[in-house]
Each structure stands twice: as C-alpha cells, then as structure tokens.
Chain A
Amino acid sequence: MAFQSRKKFCYFKENSITDVDYKDVKLLRRFITDQGKIMPRRVTGTSSKMHRKLVRAIKQARNIALMPYTNVSTES
C-alpha cells in the first residue's frame, strides 16, 4: 500500500495510567480539538475503558471552568 497509516495506540495503556484526574488539564488537552470538542476514539486510539473515564474527566473539568466547552468566539 502506498499510504500506510501510523499504528494507533492507547495513550493510557502505553503510559500505564489507570485513572484520569479532571484537574490534570495538561493531559486532557491532548484529547480535545482546537474547538474544544472531545476527539473520537477512532482518532485517538484510546481504549474503550479509558475513553469513558477520559470523557467523564473532561466534562468535570469543563464544569469547573478548567477547560472550555467551546473555543469559538470566547476571545474577542
């Protein structure tokens, strides 16, 4: 094949992280788009189990204003 995509891997499994903390914004930022949307599992390659934890953590971080709900037109 001409185009061979890089193999996806679960970031959490690779770094042996078992729990996602909603206060760890630096980690969570890896898994959102520039717009602030949560990236799908098929893009990030995160395992199903960790993706569920990740989504929960991102939503908690959004609630407490550590992460944006959306990045469109917030800065103006």
Chain B
Amino acid sequence: MKQFILKRLLQTVPMLLLASFIIFMLFAKTPGDFIDGNVTLTAARAAELKAIYGLDQPLMTRYLHWLVQLLQGNLGFSLQYQIPVSQLLNQYIWNSFLLASVALVLYWGIGLAVGVAAAMKPGSLFDHLVSITVLAAMSFPTFFLCLLLIKWFAVDLHWLPVGGMTNTGSDATGWTWVLQVAAHLALPVMALVMLQAGSLTRYFRASMLEVIKMDFIRTARAKGLHERTVILKHALRNALLPIITLLGFELPGLFSGAIITEKVFNWPGAGHIQIDSLAARDYPVLMGFTLFLAVLTILGNLIADVLYAWADPRIRVRS
C-alpha cells in the first residue's frame, strides 16, 4: 500500500511540471497584459513597469523564475489588488468552499437515497419518474437554471435574496450573520444540487442494480434476511465501492468555485475572482489559481485511487 502511494506520488511530479509549463505558456502567450490594458500610461512608464514586474524578460527565464517561486510556496503577486495571490485566494476561496461543501453534502445524500430507492424497484413508476427528472436536471444550462431560480424565488415571490453573501451594507455579526448567509446560500446551493444530484443518482442506481443481481444477494435473501438488511447492509456496501472514487474527484470542485453560479448569484467566491482577474488581465492570479486547481485535481485522482484500493482488497492485491 505504501509503495503504491509512493509510486503514484512520483508519477504526479512530471505531470505537475508539464501542467505548470502549459498553464504558464497559455497565459504568457495571451496577447495583452495588465499594463497594456491601462491606456493612461505613457510608453516610457509602461516599459518601466514591465521592467519592474519582469515582463520584459525572455519567456523561459520568466517561467523558471515563476517555478522557483512556486517551489518556495510563493504563488505570485496580484497586479490588480497589489497583495500576494495566496492572500487574495485565502480571502475568497473559503466562501466557495462553504457553498460547494454544503451543496456536496446535500447532493451526495440525495443521490444516494434516490438512487438506491430507484434501484430497489427497477422499471417501477418511481424509477421512471426519477430517470426523467434526472435527465431534465442534467439538461439545464447552469445559468438558465440559476436565472429561473432567481426569477421565481427572489424576484416574483420575494422569499430569498437575489444575490451576494450578506445584505447590502450589513455589518451583522453572530447569529444574525449566520442567518443572513444561510438565506443567501439557499438559492445557489439549490442550483448546484439540482445540477449535480442527477448524475450521482444515476451512478448509485446503476451500481446498485449491478450488485443486486449478484449471487450473494440471492443467498442473503434465501437465508430469509429482511429485505431492508439485504439492501442496506449487503448490497449498499458493495455498491458504494466504485462510487467512493468519485469522492476523490470532487476535491478540486470544492475550491474551484462554480464560476457561472457564483457570477449569476454574485457570490464572492473563487469563481468571481477568476472572472474579475480575467477582465483586468491580472494573469499572476489566474496562473496561480489554475495551477492550484491542477494540483488539487491530481491530488483528487490520487485520493480516489487510494480510497479504491483501501475499500476493495481485490484492487490492492493486483497492484
């Protein structure tokens, strides 16, 4: 097991290097930068600024410099906000994390419950209803769903706030703050859950169906066990195996910020920062953040593999 993890960790090193190179080149080659975007600067001042930020150096030198800084834990310096990128991310990422984690718990719960229930009676009316609903939810463009939710619940019914994280100009603390954030959280969470629960429900249903037709389930039933025990104890445990890996893949999503959802709901999260930095051509922020996400993705894959090996002894033996 330790060897397996070590081997996988070593494999990620070249991947990360390549990813960092591609990300750097992508942003470096994008025409225009933060200084070009400012039309009030004179040519001499622009050149001076470029020299200060090292933008006049050859590409490879800049890449190596960036890489060395990265290895020392320095993600870069935001040109727009004039603070280190890590500090900037730290301000916003946790808002995204709050939104994503609440949604994650909800849609995993819903996906599990509905998927298992649908698999228990395949072909029933409930099963058909679930699959139609799932398909419908998967077919919504993110922004359209968000807009509809705002229109219904915020504009027409006035139940929930339109967007943002707290009331405008509010400096509430303690429980009032918590309540305000919860009210603002409701709609974006609802949107995310509706968008994500569908595919998970399908996974759970398919995985359960696969397990239910296996011989040991027939044995359990033949022993005269309760149907509930058969499903929840014998079948579900085995059905969960392939799905555990999906949990690893969720890791980057927790921090990446749902760009479109956050934009529509004006949620001050990481997705917001990405759009904002792009508009201002604040490339150090985008580079640092994209690389951070790439690291999380690789880490998530690794966690998925390890979880799978941990949960399923057959995998462990083979590797």
Partners in one complex: no
